[in-house]
């Protein structure tokens, strides 16, 4: 086991005399070679948790062990075991991605630094057009990829990636997921912090959904899908001017996000759902629709809207 988080609680002072429980009795473990997703909305408590794993914050209760040693007793432990890509952009200034990544590589590995790994990473992520450009002149996506390479040029046993695909184009996202998966082949473990549940579903071995400081559920994507795993979902793009839409009685649950309406149903209702969706398009109520098996996003919405503990 690479990481063992047991009952971690972190409370911050809030406005006045109030308190903010950022992490509430969080427990999970990560095995060698595993990609573990930490999913949660803004303010769920993900960064607070990561900062405690890195020894940058001390838990009020609980313990965190890296490779069997407590981070609390040895706050500098994380430096030798973890590498991190932070959520915020890394300022490259006048450095080119190549200079920045090789600098980090030499700092971490010293004489053992192998420049061939940089070439391999840049090639795998198709970074040729940016590698010798000044960092401050690069797009957000290019800088994000450079920051990823800085984190993994000499990867620790645990690599923590906070929203690594933000601003990255869809083609390079795919390359990035492949590089992340390749990292695990030699036993490196990865924590992927994200709000992008759909992407996470494809990439992770196990996942925990965190909401208001608590882990609501954790397991493989299939386990986490749980109750929704046998459902289908209809997604509608509603017409802009639409105020209300009558929800059909076969709907098991609905969720609206801006102009996107999601309706879950039993698979036996698929013909009725298609018929109903066509009528909505004909009436101009919606622009288009799609039907798919329920995803981890549906489970996430169901869990976080109930705001109750399902398992831990
Ligand atoms: N130093 C602090 N002092 C007071 N409150 C804090 C502090 N750091 C975090 N919080 C609060 O704790 C809660 C969890 O914050 P955290 O940054 O861990 O969430 P997050 O899941 O990482 O969010 P995001 O996805 O937006 O980065 C939030 O309500 C936040 O306002």
- Centre of ligand 1 from the C-alpha of residue 45, in Å: 6
Short-list 267, 125, 290, 298, CA closest to 201: 298
Indicate which atom in ligand 1 lies nearest the CA of residue 51. 18
Q: Give the residue whose CA is nearest to atom 29 of ligand 1.
A: 43
- Centre of ligand 1 from the C-alpha of residue 41, in Å: 11
Q: Domains plus CATH for the chain? A: 3-225 (3.40.50.300), 230-293 (3.30.70)
From first to last of its 312 residues, what are the pLDDT tens digits of the chain?
999 999 999 999 988 889 999 999 999 999 999 999 999 888 999 999 999 999 999 999 999 999 999 999 988 889 899 999 998 878 888 899 999 999 999 999 998 999 999 999 999 999 999 999 998 899 999 999 999 999 999 999 999 999 999 999 999 999 999 999 999 998 999 999 988 877 778 889 999 999 999 999 999 988 888 767 788 999 999 998 777 788 999 999 888 888 889 999 999 999 999 999 999 999 999 999 999 988 888 888 778 765 433 333
The residue whose CB lies within 8 Å of the most ligand 1 atoms, and thus the one to mutate among 19, 38, 43, is 43
Short-list 180, 166, 156, 141, CA closest to 87: 166
Question: Residue 217 contacts by C-beta under 8 Å, 6 or more apart in sequence?
Answer: 208, 209, 224, 226, 299, 303, 310, 311, 312
Residue 294 in contact with residue 207, Cβ under 8 Å? no
The model carries a pTM of 0.86
Q: Give the residue whose CA is nearest to atom 14 of ligand 1.
A: 45
- Centre of ligand 1 from the C-alpha of residue 56, in Å: 14
- Centre of ligand 1 from the C-alpha of residue 64, in Å: 19
Residues with CB under 6 A from ligand 1: 12, 20, 22, 40, 42-48, 87
Residue 6 host element (H or E): strand 3-13
- Centre of ligand 1 from the C-alpha of residue 187, in Å: 31
Q: What is the ipTM of this complex?
A: 0.97
Mean pLDDT taken over the chain: 90
């Amino acid at each position: 086991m690479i990481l063992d988080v047991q009952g971690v609680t972190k409370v911050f002072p809030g406005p006045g005399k109030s308190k903010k429980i950022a992490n509430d009795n969080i427990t999970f473990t990560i095995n060698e070679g595993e990609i573990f997703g930490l999913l949660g909305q803004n303010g769920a408590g993900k960064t607070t948790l990561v900062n405690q794993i890195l020894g940058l914050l001390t838990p009020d209760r609980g313990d965190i062990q890296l490779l069997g040693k407590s981070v609390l007793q040895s706050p500098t432990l994380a430096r030798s075991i973890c590498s991190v890509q932070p959520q915020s952009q890394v300022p490259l200034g006048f450095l080119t991605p190549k200079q920045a990544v090789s600098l980090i590589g030499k700092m971490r590995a010293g004489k053992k630094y192998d420049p061939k790994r940089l070439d391999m990473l840049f090639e795998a992520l198709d970074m040729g057009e940016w590698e010798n450009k000044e960092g401050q002149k690069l797009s957000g996506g290019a800088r994000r990829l450079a920051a990823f390479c800085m984190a993994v040029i000499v990867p620790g046993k645990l690599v923590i990636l906070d929203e690594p695909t933000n601003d990255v184009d869809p083609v390079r996202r795919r390359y990035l997921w492949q590089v992340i998966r390749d990292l695990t082949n030699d036993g490196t473990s990865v924590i992927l912090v994200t709000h992008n549940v759909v992407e996470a579903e494809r990439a992770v071995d196990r996942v925990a959904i965190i909401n208001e400081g608590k882990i609501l559920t954790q397991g493989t994507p299939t386990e986490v899908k749980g109750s929704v795993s046998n459902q289908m979902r209809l997604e509608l793009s509603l017409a802009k001017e639409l105020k209300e839409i009558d929800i059909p009685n076969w709907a098991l649950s609905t969720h609206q996000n801006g102009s996107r309406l999601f309706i879950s149903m039993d698979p036996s209702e698929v013909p009725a759902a298609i018929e109903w969706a066509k009528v909505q398009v004909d009436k101009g109520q919606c622009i288009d629709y799609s039907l798919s098996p329920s995803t981890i996003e549906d489970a996430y919405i169901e869990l976080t809207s109930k705001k109750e503990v399902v398992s831990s």
